[in-house]
Amino acid sequence: MERGHFRKFERKPRVISGRKGFLNPKNSHFFHYSSVSAGLVLQISFLFEVRTYKCSLYHNTAKMAEDPTSSQSPTTTVEQCQFMIQKSLRTPTVRFLREQLEKAGCGVADNFIKAVNCEQRLAGGYMRGEGIVVCSNNIEMQDEVDQVLIHELIHAFDDCRAANLEWTNCAHHACSEIRAGHLSGDCHYKRELLRGFLKIRGHEQDCIRRRVLKSLSANPDCSGATVAKDSMEAVWDVCYNDTEPFGRVP
């Protein structure tokens, strides 16, 4: 992938809003994650029913796979989660990302982020043309909601500014996962320690690589012994060093 892969392009301002129906496989990008203050292990799903949030995952990794200390039965209701989302929307990083989406020509409508119950062990996800969902039945802490929103808003920003981004393209998918993992704080050393990964030196890049590969393993376009790893390595330098819209690592 060329350095200019993620590029801003001219178009009329548009409003991102939710709608009912089935998603185009090329547009769906739903995520599976490990909850720990709240780390994300992203997974693609291409069959997603908006009404029931019933997902068909190509690779089903347990939600708690990297979180031996987490509760196995979160009890947050949709209403409680929606309240937590409203609190997240007032945090500086989430507010900044929403502002940057507006500036990039992708206004965020009121129904862009919503709480739902999910049948799979999912934290939430971003879907082109649909917005962001947070899975209330798999969420316990405010920090988890904050992390989901930050991570998914970075994906939404990438989707907005890239003229040719396709989630079914392994290199494109890898690039956005690298950026989201690097810029969201998913791999902060405190979160890694809570997951049981005790390495201090070089932990952040190791964490990002591990989680990107876990995500790519669910993408059928990344199948093959080395396709996912080769795709990640091919775009690593460009995407890891791309800190937009922050201009630096937050």
Q: How many domains does the chain have?
A: 1
Is 248 contained in some domain?
no
CB-based burial label for 47 (10 Å; 0-12, 13-18, 19+): middle
Q: What is the pTM of this model?
A: 0.73
pLDDT tens for each residue of the chain, 250 residues long:
333 322 222 333 334 444 333 233 345 444 444 333 333 333 322 222 323 333 322 222 223 335 433 444 567 999 999 999 999 999 999 999 999 999 999 988 888 999 999 988 878 989 988 999 999 999 999 999 999 999 999 999 999 998 889 999 999 999 999 999 999 998 887 776 777 777 667 688 989 999 899 888 878 889 887 999 999 999 999 999 999 999 999 8
* Active-site entry in 140, 144, 152, 177: 152
Angle between helices 142-161 and 78-88 in degrees, nearest 10: 60
Is 107 contained in some domain?
yes
CB 118 within 8 A of CB 100: no
Is 152 labeled as catalytic in the residue annotation?
yes
Residues 250 and 234: their CA atoms lie apart, in Å, by 24
* DSSP three-state, residue 241: coil
Would the CA dihedral through 26, 33, 228, 58 be positive or negative?
negative
Is 99 contained in some domain?
yes
Domain range spanning residue 28? 15-240
Is 68 contained in some domain?
yes
Is 4 contained in some domain?
no
Is 2 contained in some domain?
no
Is 226 contained in some domain?
yes
Is 180 contained in some domain?
yes
